[in-house]
């Protein structure tokens, strides 16, 4: 049973207990009114009997059985009403106890749900922290690669901390690509991630001009060629695969990345 279902069930039970208490309370009040009426009637008969008996002795003697029967009936009804009031008060007390128990269950259920949500939030925060720490470690390594390969415009990275770069960096490919596609490209060509880091920062600091946009995408290809030559020898086919992909990604960014370059509201990481 989900928390919402349990909460709904408990609130229905609570509403029912409140209704039962009200009914029992109203019944007790009604019975008390009836009891008061019976007592008044009994007192009235006693008063009439005591004040009128000497004058109407013959009448009372003739109707003694009837009068006594009425008195007995009043006493019995009074006793029944008192017992009914006691039962009604018991029902009311039982309903109040049910309300109290239900409220305790509700508080317990809410407390457990809050604890569960807090645990989920803590777990998510811990996972996000771990993911950020992992990405920050990668950013440090990518910075070192940019320096090692003397990539063009690597100085731009100094404007941001590792944590800020971890939030800016979204991998290979334009922002219009879905996350899964960029992750696939990253896995296929990890050599170009340091190139993509500089490119992402250039996009973040975009001047919004066509010239700047073209220069940044052209630089992606140039830096990609540097990395390919630095990591793979001339006879290794992977060198040319990386160079080809650098040219491909440069072309894709040129044709699919203008909106991100031109409009800062398109930034996903902010």
Is residue 250 domain-shared with residue 154, that is, in the same domain? yes
Cα 120 to the chain's mean position, in Å? 10
Domain count of the fold of the chain: 2
Q: What is the per-residue pLDDT for 213?
A: 92
Q: What is the per-residue pLDDT for 162?
A: 92
Give the span between the Cα atoms of 229 and 193, in whole angstroms. Answer: 15
**By residue range, what is the domain housing residue 79?**
3-127
Is residue 116 domain-shared with residue 183, that is, in the same domain? no
Average pLDDT, the chain: 79
Cα R_g (the chain), whole angstroms: 44
Contact 42, 74 (CB under 8 A): yes
| CATH code: domain of residue 72 | 1.10.287
* Residues 6+ away with beta carbon under 8 Å from 89: 24, 28
- Quick one: pLDDT band at residue 77, thresholds 50, 70, 90? confident
Is residue 91 domain-shared with residue 206, that is, in the same domain? no
Most trustworthy range by pLDDT among 17-31, 100-114, 126-140, 182-196: 126-140
Residue 135 in any domain: the answer is no
Per-residue pLDDT of 141-178, as tens digits, reads 999 999 999 999 999 999 999 999 988 888 776 565 66
Per-residue pLDDT of 34-61, as tens digits, reads 777 766 766 666 666 666 555 555 555 5
Lowest mean pLDDT of 38-52, 83-97, 233-247, name the range.
Answer: 38-52
């Amino acid at each position: 049973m989900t928390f919402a279902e349990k909460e709904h069930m408990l609130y229905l039970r609570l509403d029912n207990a409140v209704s039962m208490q009200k009914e029992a309370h109203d019944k007790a009040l009604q019975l008390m009114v009836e009891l008061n009426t019976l007592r008044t009637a009994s007192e009235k008969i006693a008063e009439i009997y005591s004040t009128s008996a000497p004058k109407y002795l013959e009448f009372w003697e003739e109707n003694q059985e009837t009068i006594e029967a009425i008195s007995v009936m009043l006493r019995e009804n009074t006793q029944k009403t008192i017992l009914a009031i006691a039962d009604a008060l018991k029902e009311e007390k039982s309903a109040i106890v049910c309300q109290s128990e239900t409220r305790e269950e509700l508080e317990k259920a809410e407390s457990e749900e809050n604890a569960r949500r807090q645990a989920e939030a803590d777990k998510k925060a811990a996972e996000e922290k771990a993911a950020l720490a992992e990405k920050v470690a990668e950013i440090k390594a990518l910075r070192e690669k940019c320096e090692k390969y003397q990539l063009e415009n690597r100085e731009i990275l100094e404007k941001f901390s590792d944590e800020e770069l971890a939030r800016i960096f979204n991998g290979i490919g334009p922002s219009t690509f879905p996350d899964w596609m960029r992750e696939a490209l990253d896995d296929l060509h990890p050599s170009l991630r340091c190139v993509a880091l500089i490119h992402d920062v250039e996009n973040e600091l975009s001047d919004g001009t066509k010239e700047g946009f073209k220069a940044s995408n052209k630089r992606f290809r140039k830096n990609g060629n540097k990395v390919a030559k630095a990591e793979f020898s001339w006879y290794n086919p992977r060198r040319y695969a990386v160079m080809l992909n650098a040219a491909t990604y440069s072309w894709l960014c040129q044709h699919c990345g203008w909106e991100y370059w031109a409009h800062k509201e398109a930034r996903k990481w902010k």
